[in-house]
């Protein structure tokens, strides 16, 4: 990471800018913004947007998660870190039940999203997914136009005819929110596959917005992008926090550190430690966490 001098200062500058706009203390942004976010609920402890209780998961006979108890606070950016194969993506993918695409997955325990048990027998998994956005490792816009990509989820939720003006407004609003409107407003009917990877990934975030998900899951959303695009996506994630609860899996320790409020460290399918990002990186409780963060393994 250190070999790429250009993006780093930008990111630092960005964080500093965010800090100053919300808070006088340039180093305490994580803690202070939490207060800022939780103001509307008038509650000193933030509500949990996602809560897993004794969550265990098997791929066939291989157990990938062991009794994971994990709470994601509403409105914050929470990062999941850990070495490859530690189960962080599996945990993320069980929050919207996209894991179940593969028939050999078996889940035990509970996952509550905004108080609802999403594994309850009466719950329809497509309904769960439509309320929880997901961004994938490789940008995966659908092979249709930019406009249709943005409206895809909205049309699923609102079958039947929608006034063109409503659609136009949704498209513009979503693209503005991910800062793509100025670039793409004249080519809404171009194929989404014609965009750069960065634009594609932003589009993949933009298309979640019309259905107003409460939680957005991100599975290494920047790993296919160059450092500048990564900075842009991180900016965007930071802008979306508050209104959306964001759970992000990352391999990139520096990213977890600079772009999340809370951080959870997983190892061998178990949740080792979860706390404020600052604390995890500066004073971790577990030796394993410290070793991983220092790069002793992983």
Partner 1 sequence: MSSKSSKSGEVLDKRDLSWYVDRLAQALMFVGGISAIIFIVGIFVFVFKEGFAFILDRFDIVEFFTSINWRPTSVAKETYGALALIVGTASITGMAMLIAIPFSLGAAIYIGEFATGKTRETLKVMVELLAAIPSVVWGFIGLTIMNGVIIELFNVPIGLNVLNAGVILGLMAAPIMTTIAEDALKAVPDKYREAAEAMGATKWQVIRKVVLPAAKNGLVSAVLLGIGRGFGETMAVLMASGHSINIPGSPFDSVRALTATIAAELGETAVGSNHYGALFTLGIFLFLITFVINLTADRVVRGIRRS
CB of 136 to partner 1, least distance (A): 7
Q: Is residue 107 part of the contact set for partner 1 (CB under 8 A)?
A: no
CB of 59 to partner 1, least distance (A): 15
Place of tokens 């070999």: 3
Pairing of strands 215-219, 132-135: parallel
Please give the Cα distance from 116 to 101 (Å, whole number): 21
Per-residue binding string, partner 1, 43-82, x by CB under 8 A, is ----------------------------------------
When binding is defined by CB under 8 A, the residue of 103, 115, 121, 160 that contacts partner 1 is 103
Instruction: Yes or no: say if 232 and 183 are a contact pair by the CB < 8 Å rule.
Output: no
When binding is defined by CB under 8 A, the residue of 109, 152, 176, 251 that contacts partner 1 is 152
Per-residue binding string, partner 1, 198-237, x by CB under 8 A, is ------x--xx--x--------------------------
When binding is defined by CB under 8 A, the residue of 44, 61, 126, 165 that contacts partner 1 is 126
Q: Is residue 143 part of the contact set for partner 1 (CB under 8 A)?
A: yes
Please give the Cα distance from 73 to 133 (Å, whole number): 16
Return the SS3 of 263: strand
Burial of 6 (0-12, 13-18, 19+ CB in 10 A): exposed
* Token pair in block for residue 140: 């995966």
Please give the Cα distance from 154 to 149 (Å, whole number): 10
Residues binding partner 1 (CB under 8 A): 96, 98, 101, 103, 126-131, 133-134, 136, 138, 140-144, 152-153, 156-157, 191, 193, 204, 207-208, 211
């Amino acid at each position: 990471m250190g070999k790429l001098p250009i993006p780093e200062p930008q990111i630092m500058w960005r964080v500093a800018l965010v800090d100053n706009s919300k808070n006088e203390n340039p180093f305490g942004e994580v803690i202070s913004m939490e207060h800022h976010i939780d103001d509307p609920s008038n509650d000193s402890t933030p509500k949990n947007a996602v809560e897993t209780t004794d969550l265990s998961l098997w791929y066939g006979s291989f157990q990938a998660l062991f009794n994971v108890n994990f709470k994601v606070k509403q409105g914050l950016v929470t990062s999941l870190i850990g070495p490859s194969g530690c189960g962080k993506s599996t945990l993320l993918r069980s929050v919207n039940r996209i894991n179940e695409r593969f028939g050999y997955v078996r889940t035990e325990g509970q996952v509550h999203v905004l108080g609802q048990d999403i594994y309850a027998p009466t719950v329809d998994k497509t309904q769960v997914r439509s309320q929880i956005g997901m961004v994938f490792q490789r940008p995966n816009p659908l092979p249709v136009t930019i406009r249709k990509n943005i409206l895809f989820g909205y049309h699923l939720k609102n079958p039947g005819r929608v006034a063109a003006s409503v659609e136009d407004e949704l498209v513009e609003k979503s693209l503005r929110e991910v800062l793509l409107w100025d670039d793409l407003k004249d080519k809404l009917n171009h194929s989404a596959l014609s965009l750069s990877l960065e634009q594609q990934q932003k589009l993949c975030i933009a298309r979640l917005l019309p259905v107003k998900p409460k939680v957005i899951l991100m599975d290494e959303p920047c790993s296919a992008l160059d450092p500048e695009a990564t900075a842009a996506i991180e900016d965007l994630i930071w802008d979306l926090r508050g209104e959306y609860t964001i759970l992000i899996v990352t391999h990139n320790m520096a990213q977890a550190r600079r772009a999340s409020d809370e951080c959870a460290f997983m190892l061998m399918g178990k949740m080792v430690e979860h706390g404020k990002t600052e604390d995890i990186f500066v004073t971790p409780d577990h030796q394993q966490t410290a070793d991983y963060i220092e790069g002793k393994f992983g």
